[in-house]
Structure 1
Amino acid sequence: MSGIVVIKCGGSTLEQLSDDFFQSISKLKQEGKHPVLVHGGGPDINQMLEQLSIESEFVDGLRKTTSVVLDTVEMVLCGRVNKQLVKRTQEGEGLAIGLAGCDANLLMVKPVNVEKLGYVGEPIEVNADLIHTLIDQQLIPVIAPIGVDENGTHFNVNADTAAGAIAEALGANELIFVTDVDGILKDGAALATVTEEEVHQFIQNGVIYGGMIPKVRAALHSLKGSLPFVRIVNGKHAVFSAGNGLSGTKIVKQTAPTLS
């Protein structure tokens, strides 16, 4: 199936997404494209953990997830955040369905590093047939990144990593990371285009750091498939439809022009 657009909405951007953003998701459908939304929910998770007095920490940009933290993450992502996104997508005149990666083994995972990160999973298989079936029914899937292993154990999955795996499995035409910054920043300015090699260099020299690292690594991994490029855009300005060019940073497979 062609025309699939995987859009990952960062948790820090959800409150900032405009009505125009969600209306443009519906317009993609009208233009014959097939949007698939994958979302995070970091700020909402942090707020709930604080309310419940549960300690949480990040290791290499990933949330260390104990069983208690996992219960909270799952409650927030699969409940509050997922259903808010479904509601807003439908207010934008799209017909959406919310689900989690643990539903129907949508997102099969293996532990990343139990000792270091706890219940954090890495995608190893995606039930692409399920997503294609939903798309065939003219539905817009809205996916919370909770994965499941072969034993039925649930895992927290970085939403960027989940989006990359889903895009690769679906053979998506586009993968767009909607975040709260204008793209990959260097000296305070967003870079329009970067290559895979440059991304590796930026990670090494600290230009790319923190939560942006899982994002660009997911982008690089997805470029191993048929995708020619991946975009990172600011949710405040993101509108999807024909004739609306997206700003932000484009990560490309091929060598880009020398950056100034």
Structure 2
Amino acid sequence: MNYLVIKCGGSVLDNLPVSFYKDLVKLQESGGWKPVIVHGGGPLITSSLKKLGVETAFVDGLRVTTEEVLNVVEMVLSGAVNKQIVGKISQAGGRAFGLSGVDGDLLQANALADKSLGYVGEVVNVNTNWIDHILDQGFIPVVSPLGMDKSGQKYNINGDVAASAIAKALNAKLCFVSDIAGIYIEEYGNTRILTELKQSDAIQYIQEKKITGGMIPKVLAAIDGLTHHVQEVVILNGMEPNRLIDYISGKAVGTKLIRDGEIHYA
């Protein structure tokens, strides 16, 4: 059986069609795949912070996280968003188990070197025993991206980074589900979608600011995953019907990120 780590961005969660969750359940019931969901929740975090009068800021797509912001992040991610996804999988006929990266030391983390980001962390270890146990019981794990260090300090982990870390630990395929069809770049006044993107080209596009904003941590997480045993990474549009099944079936969908030197044939 193959592991498939699926990262659902916060911008797409409210609008993912029922068919997406049904396809997810089909994957699990097929017996050939072990799906693991990692989710974001950025828009709801931002609106919640605004309602509470808490300022928020971003640096290269990462949210600056003070202690006050961290409390709201945990409330939104591990509470509202996580249980919303569990409920939708249940409505689609599946069974899901929601948990935070803090639970059972699932995501062991340390602070980033850049202290200006506050309590934003990087994953240093994934306790995959919990994931396997949940899967073996017939549930789809749904993970909110928070982590904790040995002292008990919690950290906000970018969802793309958390998904990549879990995929690395499981030697899985990694799928970023968004509300866009993949990575777009502008060249010579035209916008085009990239069907494939090599690691070195991705880094160059970031340096040239052709890849910007929230797509930066997503692409960097993909590159890091490919460097550390992730089988394959794809960014696809979860709003379009059957895209998850299409990808698993080998059809060309979204943007596939590949290692330098690899050649993929349609």
Task: Write the letter of the residue equivalent to 1:36.
Answer: V
Question: Which secondary structure state, in structure 2, belongs to the residue aligned with residue 208 of structure 1?
Answer: coil
TM-score (norm 1): 0.94
Superposition TM-score, scaled by structure 2 size: 0.92
Are 2:128 and 2:170, in contact at CA under 8 Å, matched by a contact in 1?
Answer: yes
Q: Where does 1:74-85 land on structure 2 (aligned, <5 Å)?
A: 74-85=74-85
Is the aligned partner of 1:198 residue 2:205? no
- What do the CA deviations read for 1:62-92 (whole angstroms, capped 9, x no partner)? 1000000000000000000000000001111
The answer as to 2:254 corresponding to 1:248 is yes
Secondary structure at the aligned position of 2:211 is classed as coil
What is the match of residue 210 of structure 1?
A: 213
Matches within 5 A, 1:1-260: 2-32=1-31, 33-113=33-113, 115-172=115-172, 174-187=173-186, 188-237=191-240, 239=242, 240-241=244-245, 243=249, 245=251, 247-255=253-261
Aligned residue identity for 2:132: H
Aligned partner of 2:22: which letter?
Q
Judge conservation of contact 2:97–2:140 (CA < 8 Å) in 1. Answer: yes
| Residue 238 (structure 1) shift | 5.6
State the alpha-carbon separation in 1 of the partners of residues 161 and 155 from structure 2.
13
The question of whether the paired residues in 1 share the 8 Å contact of 2:171 and 2:231 is answered with no
CA distance in structure 2 between the partners assigned to 1:246 and 1:138 by the alignment: 30
Q: What stretches of structure 1 of length at least 5 have no aligned partner?
A: none
CA distance in 1, matches of 2:196, 2:113: 33
Gaps of 5+ in 2: none
- Any conservation in 2 of the 1:177–1:233 contact (CA below 8 Å)? yes
Structure 1 vs Structure 2: percent identity of aligned residues? Answer: 44
Contact 1:228 1:253 in 2 (8 A): no
Structure 1 residue 114, shift from structure 2 partner: 6.0
Hey, what's the Cα distance between the residues in 2 that align with 1:238 and 1:47?
Answer: 29
Following the alignment from structure 2 to structure 1, what is the Cα–Cα distance between the partners of residues 250 and 159?
Answer: 26
> Residues 114 and 70 of structure 1: is their aligned pair in 2 closer, same or farther, counting only changes over 3 Å?
farther
For 2:91 and 2:194, the matched residues in 1 are separated by 33
CA root-mean-square deviation:
1.6
**Aligned partner of 2:101: which letter?**
G
Query: For the structure 1 residues 186 and 256, does the alpha-carbon distance in structure 2 shift closer, same or farther, using more than 3 Å as the test?
Result: farther
